[in-house]
Structures are given as structure tokens and as C-alpha cells.
A and B are shown apart, each in its own frame.
Chain A
Amino acid sequence: AQSVTQLGSHVSVSEGALVLLRCNYSSSVPPYLFWYVQYPNQGLQLLLKYTTGATLVKGINGFEAEFKKSETSFHLTKPSAHMSDAAEYFCAVSGSNSGGSNYKLTFGKGTLLTVNP
């Protein structure tokens, strides 16, 4: 079984400030981890993903996340917020699996990021 907890349903930062969105996961198998962004009235866009290898992953729009197995965390960061970053962010986990099947994504409840001028 897998689950995701996103700490803070709403995060507000000033333009140019550090963005930190928290995600903790639970998984009975080695996890694959994802961050998606959703703009109003749109679908989900992939920001970045961790599967195997380097634990610090870089994504689009200057975002990055670090997989910390000991802390079961996959927090999303960006050094300097931009107004266009305002959106809802979802952390998701899936199971790495053997066999010919792709596995479901389990999402957190999301964190709404607002950026103040």
C-alpha cells in the first residue's frame, strides 16, 4: 500500500523568495516519486520525477526535489519564486514493479502555492 502526505494545504511566498513544498510518502515497495503542477481549469503537468539513481532531481521551471529514503520525503524546492509559479502542486507515488504492468499513481491532497508581488 502507498500513501502521500503533503504538509500545508496552502503556502504563500513573496516573489523572489524560496519555495519549499513538503511531501512525505509511505510505500511497501521501492517508490517512484513525482511532482505535478495544476493550473486553474487544466490537467496535470509533470514537473519532475525520481525513479532510480541520483537522489537530487531537477525539473522544469527551475524546480528540484531530493529523495530522502531515511526521512521518506520528497520535498519540492525552487530558489526564487515567480508570479507564474502560482498553482496547485501534487506529490505522487507509484510502485516500482516487475512484470508487464504500469502501476497506479497515489496522490497527496495538493498544496496551493500563492506568490505575492
Chain B
Amino acid sequence: ETGVTQSPTHLIKTRGQQVTLRCSSQSGHNTVSWYQQALGQGPQFIFQYYREEENGRGNFPPRFSGLQFPNYSSELNVNALELDDSALYLCASSLVRHGGGTDTQYFGPGTRLTVL
């Protein structure tokens, strides 16, 4: 069983640039959630994708956007990067069964984004 993978591992961008982070969900999972973890803090929920649609969003501006693909992989896009966007970005996948119900989220290793 393949776990959650993320790419790239590290990324350095300058203020105002755009970035795309990628996540492959664990085999058999159909839901992807993205979190931002600033240094010394707990992860903060950005948004979740289920059946290729956004299914809930945290307190993040519209310049944070995402996609989920038919194979359940996902992208997180951030436009107009700001210095405060420097953080570890974590992707988590889970399985939502027909009829609902929550399930455990399994995390990838993260992408460390540095904005200069």
C-alpha cells in the first residue's frame, strides 16, 4: 500500500511569485485535505477536496486555490506569494465511504516553502 507522497520536498520562491504543490493520495483514498504549518505552530486547515470539488475551506484568502484530479491526486496553488506564506504545507488523504462518515486522515511528509 502506497502512502501519501508530496512534491517537491523543498521550494524557495520570491515575494509575488506563484507556486504549485502536488500531492498523491494513499491508495484507496478519495479525499484530500491541505494544511499549512507555520514554524512552531500546529497545522491550520486550508481546504479539502472530495470528488474533485472543494468541500470546506479554512480562513485562507482566495489566492490559495486547489484542484483534485480523477485519480484523487491534488494540487495546491498559491498566487502572489507573501513572506508569511513561508511554512510547511501538509497534504492528508482519507477515505469517505458512500453514505458519509469521517475517517482518519493520513499525512504526507510535507513541502517546505520559503518565500524571500
Contacts and interface: CB of A to CB of B under 8 A. Distances in A.
Contacts of A103: 56, 102
A11 interface: no
A58 B70 CA distance: 36
A98 B100 contact: yes
Contacts of A101: 48, 50, 55-56, 96, 100
Nearest to A45: B107
Give the bracket for the number of chain A residues in contact with chain B: 20 to 34
Nearest to B103: A102
A110 B45 contact: no
Contacts, number: 78
Contacts of B35: 105
Q: Which 8 A-B pairs have the closest CB atoms?
A: A107-B42, A44-B107, A104-B45, A43-B107, A43-B109, A102-B96, A99-B100, A100-B100
Contacts of A97: 100, 102
A102 B50 contact: yes
Interface in B62-110: 90, 92, 94, 96, 98-100, 102-110
Nearest to B41: A109
Contacts of B4: 43
A106 B42 CA distance: 9
Contact of A96 (B31, B94, B102, B105): B102
A104 B104 contact: no
Interface residues of B, number: 33
Contact of B94 (A4, A98, A100, A102): A102
Given A41-B112, A45-B107, A107-B42, 6 more contacts: A44-B92, A44-B107, A102-B33, A102-B55, A102-B105, A104-B58
Interface of A: 4, 32, 34, 36, 41-46, 49, 51, 90, 92, 94-110
A102 B48 contact: yes
A95 B6 CA distance: 26
A28 to B, nearest CB: 15
Nearest to A6: B42
A43 B48 contact: no
Contact of B48 (A41, A104, A109): A104
B42 A43 contact: no
